[in-house]
Amino acid sequence: MRRVSIFGATGSIGQNTIDLIRRDAAGYDVVALTGGANIAQLASDARALGAEIAVTADESRLEDLRAALAGSGVEAAAGRAALVEAAHRPADWVMSAIVGAAGLEPGLRALEQGATLALANKESMVCAGPLMLRTARGSGAEILPVDSEHSAVFQALIGEDIGAVERVIITASGGAFRDWPLEDLARATPAQAATHPNWDMGQRITIDSASMFNKALELIETREFFGLKPSQIEAVVHPESMIHALVGFRDGGLMAHVGPADMRHAIGFALHYPARAYLPVERLDLVALGQFSFRTPCETRWPALRLAREVMQAGGLMGAVFNAAKERALDAFIAERIGFGEMAAVVEEVLDRLSSQARHNPDAITLDNVAEADHLARHVADDVMAARRA
């Protein structure tokens, strides 16, 4: 029996993870499931899987959660401290699938207790890559990427020498506005941005796909995870979303990872690694697909990609500043306080204002200074947005 915990169990990645675990429920001993406001989902999964504890991040919902779990034997808890306590509970495998910087601390605590961390929460690597890797080395824990591009790179690198890698290419679908006329982007609404041509994901990452802030985070994640130079990492637009990433070696060979747009592949790979187990995903019919196409991403349409290069070059706490400013700008866009195109302008101004303070030796990155940079960047982003409205 493998002891597993799922942070962000009620979300898109969390539910896909539960789908895989349910298919072989006898093989798993579920320790913790966590969620937010969706108490009914959290409680029903916790009951069905016989979890030891269910935690909602929302303190005001503790009584609802207790009521929903009455008589089940599942412990109920709420709030930040309960989330961190749950991450300390011994587990063999932990899924990190909370959205945003809020996912960093639970993932770190899971690494400290030596669990294998299946990392969907890309923000952890963006905000605190060196800290994540150092914590894993310290306890002997392993981090397995679950972002589809990074899982693809990881798989292409099995048995290879990282020193022989020339470049890594991650693909981008282009999101909802790939083919929109540029002049229409300023009027794009949150509902329009929250539709994705190929993937079914949470609202925030879907909007980040339309702006390519998601790809920007993934470029930084690639640098942190695999220790490559920024000049070795590229993004290309690949509208079919069938090739997730390619690794180019010094002999000119390119290893591509091809698969359906179904996150259960990357999740299942991390769940069974190093074995390859059967997974219930579509088998691609190449002839029916016919062809794959690629385009250079236009940085006028997607300025987030240019900002990602600046962040990769700067390193230090700039990733934490970038992510926090992006989260604030995204909140404002979802609340219809700023336009679609303004998100990148706000993030750029926050980066400019904080670039001198955010320089930091990677070895000196701690949870405290990441939290401080995050807090400051949110504050400055709010100032920038208030000044733009004045």
- Which residues of the shown chain bind Mg ion in the complex (CB under 5 A)? 147-149
Rg of the Cα atoms in the chain: 20
Cα–Cα distances (Å) from 286 to 55, 148, 256, 258, 259, in that order, read 43, 20, 14, 10, 10
Q: Based on CB atoms, which residue is closest to ligand NAD, 52 or 349?
A: 52
Does the annotation list 50 as a binding residue?
A: no
Give the residue closest to Mg ion by C-beta.
Answer: 147
User: What's the closest the beta carbon of residue 205 comes to ligand NAD, in angstroms?
Assistant: 4
87 binds, among Mg ion, ligand NAD, none (CB under 5 to 8 A by kind): none
* Partner interacting with residue 13 (select from Mg ion, ligand NAD, none; CB below 5-8 Å by kind): ligand NAD
Select 102 or 380, whichever has its Cβ closest to ligand NAD.
102
Is 13 annotated as a binding-site member? yes
Note whether 329 and 380 are within 8 A (CB).
Answer: no
H-type alpha helices, the chain: 12-22, 39-49, 62-69, 80-88, 104-112, 122-139, 148-156, 190-193, 203-211, 213-226, 264-272, 286-289, 304-314, 318-334, 342-354, 367-389
* Residue with tokens 């798993």, as numbered in its chain: 28
Q: What is the C-alpha separation between 190 and 73, in angstroms, rounded?
A: 41
245 binds, among Mg ion, ligand NAD, none (CB under 5 to 8 A by kind): none
3-state secondary structure of 242: coil
**Annotated binding-site residue? 59:** no
148 is an annotated ligand-binding site residue: yes
Peptide bond between residue 274 and the one before it cis (omega within 30 degrees of 0): yes
The closest residue (CB) to ligand NAD is: 11
Q: Which is nearer to ligand NAD, 110 or 120 (CB)?
A: 120
- End-to-end CA distance of the chain, in Å? 59
Which among Mg ion, ligand NAD, none contacts residue 12 (Cβ within 5 to 8 A by kind)? Answer: ligand NAD
In the complex with ligand NAD, the residue whose CB is nearer, 199 or 249, is 199
Q: Can you spell out the DSSP letters for 252-300?
A: S-EEEEE--S-THHHHHHHHHTTS------PPP-HHHH-----BPPPTT
The answer to whether 149 is annotated as binding is yes
The least CB distance from residue 218 to Mg ion, in Å, is: 5
319 is in an annotated binding site: no
**Annotation-wise, does 179 bind a ligand?**
no
Name the nearest CA neighbour of 50 among 28, 65, 67, 24.
Answer: 28
Binding site for ligand NAD (CB under 6 A): 8-14, 35-36, 57, 97-99, 102-103, 120-123, 147, 199, 201-202, 204-205, 263
Annotated binding site: 10-13, 36, 38, 121-123, 147-149, 173, 196, 202, 209, 214-215, 218
Annotated binding site for Mn(2+): 147, 149, 218
Annotated binding site for 1-deoxy-D-xylulose 5-phosphate: 122, 148-149, 173, 196, 209, 214-215, 218
